[in-house]
Amino acid sequence: MTDAVSLIRAKRDGQRLADDDIRWLFEAYARHEVADEQMSALLMAIYFRGLDRAELRTWTAAMIASGDRLDLSSVGRPTVDKHSTGGVGDKVSLILAPLVAACGAAVPQLSGRGLGHTGGTLDKLEAIPGFRSALTPDETLAVLTSAGCVICAAGSGLAPADRRLYALRDVTGTVESIPLIASSIMSKKIAEGTRALVLDVKVGSGAFMTSYERARELAETMVALGEEHGVRTRALLTRMDVPLGRAVGNAVEVEESVRALQGHGPGDLMEVTLALARQMLGLAGIEADPAAAIADGRALAAYRAMVRAQGGDPDAPLPEAAYTQVLPAPASGWLTGLDALKVGIAAWRLGAGRARKEDDVSASAGIICLVKPGEAVQAGQPLLELRADEPERFGPALAALEGAAAVSDQRPAPQVSPVIEEVGPA
């Protein structure tokens, strides 16, 4: 007879968990026959001992089986989704979902909220007056069918075991385990019913994974999980040492996304977006040029259709902050660095982010990067524009930005591509 203590001891001592034992664990945990303290102990054992590929496949399958799976077979288009591991100024989803939909795919994007220095896609879209991110499965399917894309919260019925496990990981110091990260992300993406998935795994100071080696390991692990569960999966490793684009926040990122859909997006943002779009269309079996869908207005039309279908008004003015303040350039020369983590923390302190999941965020707070690395600056020239609803937020935000900008009197080498490499099935 299987019991939780035996499984904890086995993993603690470096043994592998049998498939039947993993399935029993999740079923017993759902019945509250395994205590949170016991599951926490097992998560810590996994943090140190890991899960091999077979264990991880069964662990992820058990998380999926803990809830419902969406059936997208009635949509009538090939389905493909994208997931980002999170960064600073990463508003790619807002541009990418309607862009790929405009090219003929259906994009069912279940997204999350920001925590700490990384922004959340739902927080950004909810800056649009009337926009609803909490949709029922029937509403999700209706928006996807009518607009070609939907960006909404994952319903409570999809991989509910993940919600409980993530809460435990958050308070037990086991968030950083690659098998646990991979199963958390992929269980929800597989349960949402998409046939194909492209992962944007960020690398750098503003990313969850700061080292290339760890980011590549996570990408390879998630790609393998997707393929093993019948979802065609690819990953791109992309840089996150510098904020992506020029806007960091909620309403300000929506504004920049709309400009990008109008054909006026910053170069780094558009390079990442178009690279992901090409990967998504390739997996969906669609031959189309995503740049053309921006140039002829189809992508913007798809975005407006999605916003309307989710209750939002794409023509309504976005919230504006009551107060602004600038950070001046510390010297004359060329900006050679702008630390994404420090900018992200500053935006969070301005009110754009949250420390706990239940905290509110400001729609209008954020930062505009007036200068990006590679551009020339004069001492005292405004480098960043900070926006907040309360003036007392500027002090802590400016403290977070101490040393964020690097200026050199030597012209820097041309900026490297934000796209590092593609990771496919082994």
Q: Average the pLDDT over each of 57-61, 100-104, 143-147, 409-413 and give the range with the smallest value.
A: 409-413
- Phi, psi (degrees; rounded to nearest 5) at 421: -165, 165
- pLDDT score recorded for residue 166: 87
- pLDDT score recorded for residue 37: 96
Mean pLDDT for 391-410 is 96
User: Which CATH architecture describes the domain 81-315?
Assistant: 3-Layer(aba) Sandwich (3.40)
End-to-end CA distance of the chain: 37
Mean pLDDT for 117-129 is 91
Fold of 4-50: 1.20.970
pTM value is 0.95
Q: pLDDT tens across 177-214, in order? A: 999 999 999 999 999 999 999 999 999 999 989 999 99
Is the pLDDT at 50 greater than 80? The verdict is yes
CA-CA distance, 311 to 131, in Å (whole number)? 5
- pLDDT score recorded for residue 163: 87
CA-CA distance, 193 to 230, in Å (whole number)? 10
Contact predicate 319/254, CB 8 Å: no
Report the percent of the chain where pLDDT is more than 70: 99
| CATH fit for domain 323-408, picks 3.40.640.10, 3.90.1170.30, 3.40.1190.20, 3.10.20.310 | 3.90.1170.30
Q: Domain ranges in the chain?
A: 4-50, 81-315, 323-408
Under 8 Å CB-to-CB from 104, ≥6 apart: which residues? 77, 78, 284, 286, 288
Q: pLDDT tens across 240-288, in order? A: 999 999 999 999 999 999 999 999 999 999 999 999 999 999 999 999 9
Under 8 Å CB-to-CB from 183, ≥6 apart: which residues? 56, 59, 60, 63, 162, 225
Are domains 4-50 and 81-315 of this chain identical in fold? no
- pLDDT score recorded for residue 119: 78
What value does the mean pLDDT of the chain take?
A: 95
Q: Kindly list the catalytic residues.
A: 83, 162, 169, 184, 188
- pLDDT score recorded for residue 230: 95
